Structure 1
Amino acid sequence: MEFFNKTKEFFGLGPMDVEADEAYFAEDRRYESNGAAAYAPRSAYGSVAVVEEEQFVPRIVAISLTSFNDAARVGEPFREGDAVVFELTDAERGAAKRFVDFAAGLCFALEGRMINLTKVLKTDRKVFAIVPKDADFSNAELEHEAGLR
């Protein structure tokens, strides 16, 4: 009979130990966006204190690319929410095409937009910008960061 009781306790079918459960649930849990749980701090009065998160402000990252091995330098800041201005003037023609395709894929996947900054200015330089959907930058700001204005 002892074996039967131990088996019931092992599978949680035995009597509950209420004191241990109360200690486990004593703190309120707060879940973050990535699924990781974090405990919310308590104020002096026992209620949960509100923790304000810093507001993310997108910035413009300017990069000059020559080899397709540098593609991560474009993808990482864009994935984090920053606009990326990249110059392909010194890149080989085949590598430049691959960069443009890669950037277009990033824009499609993350709902951003891609701008050819040198198309209107009629210059020999090849400069493009990719802007995330939540970032609001004017073409003039992007051109200034690229050194076109």
Structure 2
Amino acid sequence: MVKKLRPQNYNEVLYVGHFFRKGLPVLMDLSDLSEDEAKQLVDFATGLVFARRGSLDRVDRRLFLLQP
């Protein structure tokens, strides 16, 4: 199962971390965010997958797949 998330602001990064730490792949759609907030979420996701030894793949311009 892949958890699909479409954050509306940076505060929703909590959900990305929650599902990823539970071992679920997370499809992160950042199309509703400003450029700055989208970059912040990608930075957070990059650190998260690095720390948890996962992977981060860019599926589309603002669509990212985090895999544990």
Interval of TM-score (by shorter of Structure 1 and Structure 2):
over 0.9
- C-alpha distance in 2, partners of 1:93/1:109? 24
Could you list the runs of 5+ residues in structure 2 that have no partner in the other structure? none
- C-alpha distance in 1, partners of 2:40/2:54? 18
C-alpha deviations, 1:94-142, integer Å up to 9, x for none? 1000000000000000000000001xxxxxx51001000xxxxxxxxxx
Bigger helix fraction:
2
In the superposition, the TM-score normalised over structure 2's length comes to 0.95
Q: Residue 131 of structure 1 aligns with which residue?
A: 67
Instruction: Give the letter aligned to residue 96 of structure 1.
Output: A
Which contiguous aligned blocks of 4+ residues in structure 1 show a shift greater than 2 angstroms? none
Instruction: Give the letter aligned to residue 75 of structure 1.
Output: G
- C-alpha distance in 1, partners of 2:41/2:62? 11
Which structure is richer in relative contact order (CA contacts within 8 A, separation 6 or more)? 2
Q: Residue 114 of structure 1 aligns with which residue?
A: 56
The answer to whether the 8 Å contact 1:83/1:130 transfers is yes
Q: CA RMSD in A?
A: 0.9
Q: What is the CA distance between 1:66 and its match in structure 2?
A: 2.1
- C-alpha distance in 1, partners of 2:27/2:10? 16
C-alpha deviations, 1:29-74, integer Å up to 9, x for none? xxxxxxxxxxxxxxxxxxxxxxxxxxxxxx2100101200000110
Percent identical across equivalent pairs?
34
- Asked which structure has the greater CA Rg, the reply is 1
Q: Residue 144 of structure 1 aligns with which residue?
A: none
